[in-house]
């Protein structure tokens, strides 16, 4: 299934200024995160329109020459690291926010499965962090907007206090101040959004003195002195320090003027927003998560139903059914984490039931499989503690943050274990395979035992047995 944009067809010439650092500017897509077709089952389906210049993501320093001195290299590395960590935090926040919305929860599960599948295909953990820069942009938009609204909230509070006093002559003054502040801050926010929504676009008035000072140093009386003193002693540092940032990489008024000068500001903004939303691949993640949820539910439905039946009535037959369900659930847990990773890597629903393939992969890396199984089940156990007592309704969303923090690493580790096994050609030593099999039995049995007793501690009672967050949606309930 291909995506057809509802926008009118029109040619989009490349921006004349190659250093325009906006959400609507030329930015480079991460080559290590190829876009997967939304509902495609194989590679023959067309890819998403990621070659559109206006919606691509830019490297922060792509407009500057490569750093030559080690202090500047270290500074840029620190900036890259902080930006990546901010993107990771934004990713976790977005997944947590989506996971509390009914139906959209499947998109959150789909992202986790896609991350596991990419790691399985490549064998590299870094491939599991998909679209970090794109999520960093979402995080900066949300954080910057929220911070810029604080002055309006503060003045609005003062205005309400002034109006609470009858006949207070300061009340009209505060209303005028609130109106002026609202107009200025909303305009500032819209300008930052158009410029790209990075944090520096929201706080450009604070950066302006430093950038202007650097330009004055380059063109003033200090430049000849620095050229004579620093350039002979450390030429690479001189070249790095005296290379000013282009105006259109940090100065929103210059970015706005460049858009007006091109005469296509609305078209570029419209197309860029559309392409950015399309690039999030929400339909693909939803479809992948829905199929992964259904497949896992098919595996878990029978053993968990038998387990719940064993606790429904204190009859000998019911107890035997419950014991059989517990043993069957333990057997399913040996395969289910790797079956989901295999399904995500192949993007075929039938791969969700290819347990023989997973068994063959286990023979090639038994010890790593055992560690992955242990990590997956161990990371799921602390989350049951959050189900003992429901928090206040406004704080329910905070639970999803903990679920993402625990489940995401487990998915990556499972994908890495399966990917490592797929790259090996020969089975491991027989004794190692045998020891790993026997070592996995107490792990799954202990997990089943703990899951069985969670029905007496969870606020949902027996129904909590069906809330297997390690394999289903990344929260312990379908909707909050």
- Give dist(CA 203, CA 209) in Å, integer: 12
**Residue 81, Cβ neighbours under 10 Å: how many?**
10
250 and 384 inside one domain: no
Whether residue 87 contacts residue 139, with contact meaning beta carbons closer than 8 Å, is answered with: yes
Tell me phi and psi for residue 8, to 5 degrees.
-65, 140
Q: Domain boundary residue among 264, 295, 327?
A: 264
Q: Domain boundary residue among 264, 296, 319?
A: 264
Distances (CA, A) of 344 to 121, 219, 293, 299: 9, 57, 12, 16
DSSP state of 54: G
Is position 422 within any domain? yes
Of 43, 48, 39, nearest in space to 1 by CA: 39
192 and 305 inside one domain: no
- Give dist(CA 255, CA 422) in Å, integer: 49
Is position 144 within any domain? no
Is position 303 within any domain? yes
- Give dist(CA 380, CA 446) in Å, integer: 13
Is position 49 within any domain? no
161 and 241 inside one domain: yes
- Give dist(CA 293, CA 291) in Å, integer: 5
User: Which residues have a Cβ under 8 Å from the Cβ of 211 and sit 6 or more positions away?
Assistant: 244, 245, 250, 251
**Residue 422, Cβ neighbours under 10 Å: how many?**
18
Q: Which two tokens stand for residue 182?
A: 């609202």
Give the three-class secondary structure for 424: coil
Angle at 283 between CA 465 and CA 373, to 5 degrees: 40
| Gyration radius of the chain's alpha carbons | 28
Q: Domain boundary residue among 236, 264, 292?
A: 264
DSSP state of 461: G
Of 333, 331, 340, 330, nearest in space to 415 by CA: 340
348 and 418 inside one domain: yes
318 and 451 inside one domain: yes
- Give dist(CA 447, CA 309) in Å, integer: 19
289 and 260 inside one domain: no
DSSP state of 234: -
Is position 146 within any domain? no
pLDDT at 63: 55
- Give dist(CA 35, CA 209) in Å, integer: 40
397 and 431 inside one domain: yes
301 and 434 inside one domain: yes
Is position 411 within any domain? yes
Whether residue 202 contacts residue 142, with contact meaning beta carbons closer than 8 Å, is answered with: no
Domain count, the chain: 2
pLDDT at 29: 34
pLDDT at 474: 64
**Residue 335, Cβ neighbours under 10 Å: how many?**
19
Is position 240 within any domain? yes
387 and 444 inside one domain: yes
pLDDT at 12: 40
* pTM as predicted: 0.79
CA atoms within 13 A on the CB side of 242: 19
Tell me phi and psi for residue 3, to 5 degrees.
-100, 130
Whether residue 366 contacts residue 436, with contact meaning beta carbons closer than 8 Å, is answered with: yes
Domain around 214: 151-264
Q: Which two tokens stand for residue 113?
A: 């499965």
Is position 370 within any domain? yes
Whether residue 63 contacts residue 141, with contact meaning beta carbons closer than 8 Å, is answered with: no
**Sign of the CA dihedral running 385, 388, 390, 391:** negative
pLDDT at 274: 92
- Give dist(CA 276, CA 49) in Å, integer: 10
328 and 442 inside one domain: yes
226 and 313 inside one domain: no
pLDDT at 64: 63
181 and 303 inside one domain: no
- Give dist(CA 380, CA 337) in Å, integer: 12
Torsion of CA 220, 226, 231, 232, to 10 degrees: 130
Residue whose entry in the numeric block shows the structure tokens 């009672």? 461
Quote the longest CA-to-CA distance of the chain: 95
Residues (pLDDT < 70) of the chain are: 1-64, 217-222, 244, 312-313, 474-480
């Amino acid at each position: 299934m291909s995506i057809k944009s509802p926008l009118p067809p029109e040619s989009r010439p490349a921006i004349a200024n190659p250093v325009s650092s906006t959400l609507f500017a030329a930015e480079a897509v991460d080559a290590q995160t190829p876009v997967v077709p939304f509902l495609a089952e194989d590679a023959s389906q067309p890819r998403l329109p990621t070659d559109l210049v206006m919606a691509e993501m830019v490297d922060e320093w792509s407009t500057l020459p490569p750093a030559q001195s080690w202090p500047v290299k270290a500074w840029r590395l620190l900036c890259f690291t902080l930006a990546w960590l901010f993107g990771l935090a934004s990713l976790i926040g977005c997944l947590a926010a989506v996971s509390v919305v009914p139906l959209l929860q499947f998109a959150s599960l789909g992202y986790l499965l896609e991350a596991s599948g990419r790691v399985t295909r490549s064998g590299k953990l870094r491939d599991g962090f998909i679209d970090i820069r794109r999520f960093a942009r979402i995080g900066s938009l949300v954080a910057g907007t929220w911070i810029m609204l604080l002055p309006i909230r503060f003045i609005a509070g003062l205005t309400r206090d002034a109006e609470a006093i009858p006949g207070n002559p300061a009340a009209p003054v505060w209303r005028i101040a609130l109106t002026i502040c609202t107009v200025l801050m909303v305009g500032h926010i819209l300008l930052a959004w158009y410029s790209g929504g990075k944090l520096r676009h929201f706080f450009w008035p604070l950066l302006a003195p430093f950038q202007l000072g650097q330009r004055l140093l380059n063109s003033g009386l200090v430049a000849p002195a620095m050229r004579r003193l620093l350039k002979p002693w450390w030429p690479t540092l001189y070249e790095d320090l005296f290379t000013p940032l282009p105006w259109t990489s940090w100065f929103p008024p210059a970015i706005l003027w460049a858009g007006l000068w091109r005469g296509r500001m609305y078209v570029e903004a419209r197309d860029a927003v559309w392409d950015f939303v399309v690039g999030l691949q929400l339909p693909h993640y939803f479809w992948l998560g829905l199929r992964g949820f259904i497949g896992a539910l098919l595996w878990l439905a029978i053993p968990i139903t038998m387990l719940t039946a064993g606790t429904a009535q204190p009859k000998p037959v019911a107890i035997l059914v419950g014991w059989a369900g517990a043993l069957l659930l333990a057997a399913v847990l040996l395969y289910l984490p790797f079956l989901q990773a295999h399904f995500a890597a192949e993007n075929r629903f039938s791969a969700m039931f290819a347990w023989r393939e997973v068994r063959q992969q286990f023979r090639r890396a038994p010890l790593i499989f055992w560690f992955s199984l242990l990590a997956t089940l161990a990371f799921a156990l602390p989350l049951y503690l959050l189900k003992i007592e429901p928090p206040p309704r406004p704080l329910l969303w905070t639970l999803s943050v903990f679920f993402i923090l625990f489940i995401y690493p487990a998915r990556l580790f499972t994908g890495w274990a399966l990917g490592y096994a797929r790259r090996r050609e020969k089975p491991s030593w027989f004794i190692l395979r045998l020891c790993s099999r026997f070592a996995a039995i107490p792990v799954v049995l202990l997990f089943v035992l703990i899951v069985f007793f969670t029905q007496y501690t969870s606020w949902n009672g027996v129904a909590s047995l069906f809330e297997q967050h390690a394999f289903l949606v990344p929260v312990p309930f379908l909707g909050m």
